[in-house]
Amino acid sequence: MRIKVINPNTTESMTRTIAAAARAAAAPGTEILAATASTGPVSIEGHYDEAISVIGLLEAIREGEQQGCDGYVIACFGDPGLLAAREMTRAPVLGIAEAAMHAASFVATGFSVVTTLGRTRIIAEHLVHAYGMGRHCRRVRATELAVLELDDPASDARRKIVNECRRALDEDGSGAIVLGCGGMADLARELTAELGVPVIDGVGVAVKFIEALAGLGIGTSKRGDFAPPLPKFYTGRLSDMAFQAPGKPSAP
């Protein structure tokens, strides 16, 4: 099985962190292809960054279709471009936020999300409700860390994340923690041991969910809004983004 794990920001060191978490979770027969967006923001911290990041994400999905991928992980906690990506492929596509929230709902009556900036907290709250997780998620918390501080040993990021997790367990009535950034993927196992509760990273969970879905032959439905994009011309800087269905011309 071949699963493509895509970091929609353009920071290679974060892709390495994400890829390591994906490979640690993958079964022996699963190949992980890790990709960094070829264009877009170095970190995704808001709606504008997310919108711009989708182009690089969809280009990576398009490449993955040529690579014969059996599933895709969008390794950014905003799950940018998730629905557009699902239009492009018959393979399962999971975002790390949706995957992590579902996993947390299986193992605890309530969970808290610990993410980066306050504005990301608000975006994650939108996702909680979009995914129907309102009765499971007790609170979304911000550490006020910038995404790129996660890669900076001088930022004291780990301590700030642990402290916010402890506040969540003490104050929110939560039994599990969801790590709200792809750049935190390397912390899940050690924080689970340190805090004594499930601390869930969506990268590893998404890999295992895709192994399950693809292993059962369950792919993305091609009916309704996940049907392939309609053939049409695209103009300007994105003229090469016209969707090319396998074996069909991209424009009428």
- Asked if residues 103 and 208 have their Cβ atoms less than 8 Å apart, the reply is no
Q: Which helix (H) or strand (E) covers residue 138, if one does?
A: strand 137-142
Among 21, 61, 76, 188, binds ligand 5HY (CB under 6 A): 76
Mask for 22-61, x = binds ligand 5HY (CB under 6 A)? ---------------------xxx----------------
The smaller minimum CB distance to ligand 5HY, of residues 57 and 214, is found at 57
78 touches ligand 5HY (CB under 6 A):
yes
Among 147, 187, 191, 206, binds ligand 5HY (CB under 6 A): 147
List phi, psi (to 5°) of 230.
-70, 140
Among 3, 4, 6, 9, binds ligand 5HY (CB under 6 A): 9
Q: How far is the CB of 3 from ligand 5HY (least distance, A)?
A: 18
The smaller minimum CB distance to ligand 5HY, of residues 79 and 172, is found at 79
115 touches ligand 5HY (CB under 6 A):
yes
The smaller minimum CB distance to ligand 5HY, of residues 48 and 234, is found at 48
Phi-psi category of residue 220: left, alpha or beta, with phi > 0 → left and psi -120 to 50 → alpha: beta
Residue count of the chain: 252
201 touches ligand 5HY (CB under 6 A):
no
**Dihedral sign (CA 135, 106, 81, 92):** negative
Helices (H), the chain: 12-25, 47-66, 82-88, 96-107, 118-130, 157-171, 188-195, 202-215
81 touches ligand 5HY (CB under 6 A):
no
Instruction: Work out the burial of residue 249: count CB atoms within 10 Å of its CB; fewer than 13 is exposed, 13-18 middle, 19 or more buried.
Output: exposed
The smaller minimum CB distance to ligand 5HY, of residues 89 and 115, is found at 115
**Dihedral sign (CA 229, 230, 231, 232):** negative
Angstrom distance (rounded) from CA 245 to CA 53:
22
Provide the greatest CA pair distance for the chain: 59
The footprint of ligand 5HY on this chain (CB under 6 A) covers a number of residues equal to 14
The smaller minimum CB distance to ligand 5HY, of residues 18 and 214, is found at 18
Among 30, 64, 77, 142, binds ligand 5HY (CB under 6 A): 77
164 touches ligand 5HY (CB under 6 A):
no
Interaction site with ligand 5HY (CB under 6 A): 9, 43-45, 76-78, 115-116, 120, 147, 181-183
